[in-house]
Every structure is written in C-alpha cells, then in structure tokens.
C-alpha cells in the first residue's frame, strides 16, 4: 500500500508539473538551473539555462519567477498569439493558412532533432553535426552515457537511425526545413525526476548515469514517436510522402520494442528512489497518458513486461494528434521541458 500511495503521489506531482512547466507569456523565457529548478526570466534572456540558482542577473534584471513558472499575482493567461514561441534565427514566422505536407514533415523533424541529439550525445558524446541543425539550437545538458558494451551497441544503432532520419527529412524538405529549436536533454530529466520524488534528488536524475537510466530516458521518447507518426501518416496529401512516413514509423516501433525488451531485464530491480524500475516505467506511462490523451500500455502489467504498446482487441499502435504530442514533450504547454522555447515551424501549438 505504501508503494501504491507513493506511486499515486508521484503521478499527481508530475501532472502538477505539466501545468507549471511554462511561463505566462512571450515576455518571459523558461529557464533551468543546473540542479533542474525551472524558473522564468524576462525575455530576452541572454544567459538563462544551467545557472546555479534561479537568477537572471545576466539579463540585467532580477524579476525572476521560480518553481511554478508563474508571475506572482498575474492572472492565468488565455491562449493568445503571444503563446507562440518566438522564432529562432532563420526560423520562418508561423503564418495562417492550410497545413501542408511540408509543415507535417517539419513537425516530425522537431521530434527527430530531439531524439537525434539525445542518442548522439548518449552514444558518441557529441551532438548533431552543425550541417544537420540549420544553425539552430542550443542543446542543453547532453553528455556521453556510461554504458555497458551491450547498451552501448543499442545506443549506437538507435543514434545512427535517428541521425539518418534528421538527414532524410532535411534533404526532403530542402530550403523549407526548419532549424533545430532549443532542446533540453539534461536538466529537463532532473525536473521530471524531482517532481516524481516530490523532492530534490541528490544527485539529480540523469539518463546518462548507467544502462537503466539511459533506457528509462529512451523509454520516455520512443512510444511517443510511434504514436506521433501514426497520427501523421493519414494527414499527408501525397501518398508517397505518407508511405515514407509509415516506414519511419516502423523504425521507431523497432526502437520502442527494443527499449521495452531491454527494460524487461531490470523491472524488478529496486532503484535508489525506493521503487522498482518497473514502477518508474509505469510512472512514465502514467505521465504520458495524463498529458497525451491516454493511449498507453504500461511497462509492467499483471506481473509481466509489456513488449508493445497497442490497442486492446485489434492490436494496433496508438495514434496521437500533434497537440497531444506537443503536450507530452513540452509538459502540458506550448513550450517547456524538452523544448524550452517551443517547436519550430507552423505546427507548434497545442
């Protein structure tokens, strides 16, 4: 019962994080300290991420909003045009009009940038080549993961696939490809872990510590990628483009199944947080479900590891809308968590 209570409290804390992990308007920029505390600096913030304390001195102001990311006394804003992330250098400003196949591919490219950076850093200790980012970024918190030989081999295989997906999409889009947005693959993990534990973990959670933490970090992304492509495929007007997207979906599904299979070896291991790896996996699933419209299969159910996430009865992969995907990767808002300033391109809001 104590474990169930802890599990429920962790889910509630993470759902609260989803509501808090954003700034009230475009006048503020979401920031993280080096220990994973989220706060808001008035825009423009010249040096914001990775500070040791919630302090915006580098921007010439001390008007800081700590923790919840809300200005004290400010009303909860209604969604307006100011919620749209400010385009980074070289990013076309979002405009009204019908969504095109290129817009959908650019949405997918944002997700591939995220996965490509995470796996490239974990496997090779470096991010994407500058020729693949379109002058975008920055990337916060990436580092080489400390992995066994087997886990290193898995990381390298997935990294190569994700890097190739970035290359493929950028080539297909040509001059229409959006640059890489600002991406957080370090402190964002610590923020989520702190919320799960309802405490500041020491040391902060990192997906680069060992095989288990790396696999848990990968688990956050992979099922989401499958559902994102599943939702995108029928939106394409060009059947050839839809066919290519379906093939990328297949690769993402391979990755998702492999990560679940690898985690199966550790689900009964009790972590330093007092719960098992299986419990943490299910907590990740619960958070994604809360943010992304349900559409999840637990990592562990009825004592067995679930090697795939599929609908009951017909065993089809789940599909998500772009809004549901953005809600997951940005923790319930249009920007935050893994995309501190939001996604680039026309499809960038819930």
Q: Residue 96: what pLDDT?
A: 58
Q: Residue 333: what pLDDT?
A: 87
Residue 58 or residue 294, greater confidence: 294
Mean pLDDT estimate for the chain: 78
Would you say residue 258 has pLDDT above 50?
yes
The predicted-structure confidence for 156-200, as pLDDT tens digits, reads as follows 999 999 999 999 999 999 999 999 999 999 999 887 776 655 567
Q: Do the domain assignments include residue 7? A: no
Q: Do the domain assignments include residue 304? A: yes
Confidence at 21, pLDDT banded by 50, 70, 90 = very low
Q: Residue 78: what pLDDT?
A: 28
Q: Which domain holds residue 323?
A: 99-329
Residue 300 or residue 84, greater confidence: 300
Cα separations (Å) of 31 from 41, 303, 338, 339?
Answer: 7, 40, 11, 11
The predicted-structure confidence for 207-219, as pLDDT tens digits, reads as follows 999 999 999 999 9
| Whole-structure pTM value | 0.75
Q: Give me the mean pLDDT over the 318-344 stretch.
A: 92
Q: Do the domain assignments include residue 315? A: yes
Q: Residue 312: what pLDDT?
A: 84
Q: Do the domain assignments include residue 105? A: yes
Q: Do the domain assignments include residue 325? A: yes
Residue 290 or residue 79, greater confidence: 290
Residue 276 or residue 344, greater confidence: 344
Q: How far apart are CA 26 and CA 240, in angstroms?
A: 38
Structurally, the chain folds into a number of domains equal to 1
The predicted-structure confidence for 67-76, as pLDDT tens digits, reads as follows 333 222 223 3
Q: Do the domain assignments include residue 340? A: no
Q: Do the domain assignments include residue 62? A: no
- What percent of the chain shows pLDDT beyond 90? 51
Would you say residue 143 has pLDDT above 80?
yes
Q: Give me the mean pLDDT over the 230-237 stretch.
A: 95
Q: Do the domain assignments include residue 277? A: yes
The label of the residue with tokens 């902060």 reads 204
The predicted-structure confidence for 94-128, as pLDDT tens digits, reads as follows 455 789 999 999 999 999 999 999 999 999 999 99
């Amino acid at each position: 019962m104590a474990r169930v209570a802890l599990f429920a409290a962790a889910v509630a804390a993470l759902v609260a994080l989803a509501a808090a992990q954003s700034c009230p308007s475009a006048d503020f920029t979401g920031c993280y300290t080096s220990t994973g505390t989220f706060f808001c600096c008035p825009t423009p913030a010249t040096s914001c991420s990775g500070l040791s304390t919630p302090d915006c001195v580098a921007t010439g102001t001390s008007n800081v909003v700590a923790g919840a990311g809300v200005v004290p006394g400010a009303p909860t804003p209604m969604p307006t045009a100011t919620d749209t992330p400010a385009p980074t250098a070289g990013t076309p400003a979002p405009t009204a009009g019908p969504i095109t196949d290129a817009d959908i591919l650019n949405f997918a490219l944002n997700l591939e940038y995220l996965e490509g950076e995470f796996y490239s850093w974990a496997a090779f200790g470096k991010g994407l080549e500058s020729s693949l980012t379109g002058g975008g970024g920055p990337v916060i918190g990436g580092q080489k993961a400390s992995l066994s030989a087997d886990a290193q081999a898995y990381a390298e295989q997935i990294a190569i696939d994700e890097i190739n997906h970035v290359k493929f999409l950028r080539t297909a889009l040509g001059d229409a490809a959006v640059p890489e947005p600002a991406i957080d693959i370090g402190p964002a993990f610590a923020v989520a872990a702190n919320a799960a534990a309802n405490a500041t973990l020491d040391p902060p959670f990192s997906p680069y510590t060992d095989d288990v933490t790396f696999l848990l970090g990968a688990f956050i992304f992979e099922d989401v990628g499958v559902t994102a492509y599943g939702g995108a495929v029928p939106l394409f007007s060009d059947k050839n483009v839809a066919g290519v997207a379906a093939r990328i979906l297949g690769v993402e599904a391979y990755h998702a199944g492999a990560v679940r299979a690898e985690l199966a070896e550790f689900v009964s291991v009790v972590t330093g947080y007092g719960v098992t790896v299986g419990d943490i996996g299910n907590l990740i699933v619960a958070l994604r479900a809360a943010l992304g419209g349900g559409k999840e299969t637990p990592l562990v159910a009825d004592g067995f590891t679930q090697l795939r996430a599929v609908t009951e009865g017909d065993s089809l992969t789940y599909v998500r809308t772009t809004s549901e995907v953005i809600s997951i990767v940005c923790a319930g808002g249009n920007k935050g968590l893994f995309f501190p300033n939001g996604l680039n391109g026309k499809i960038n809001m819930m």
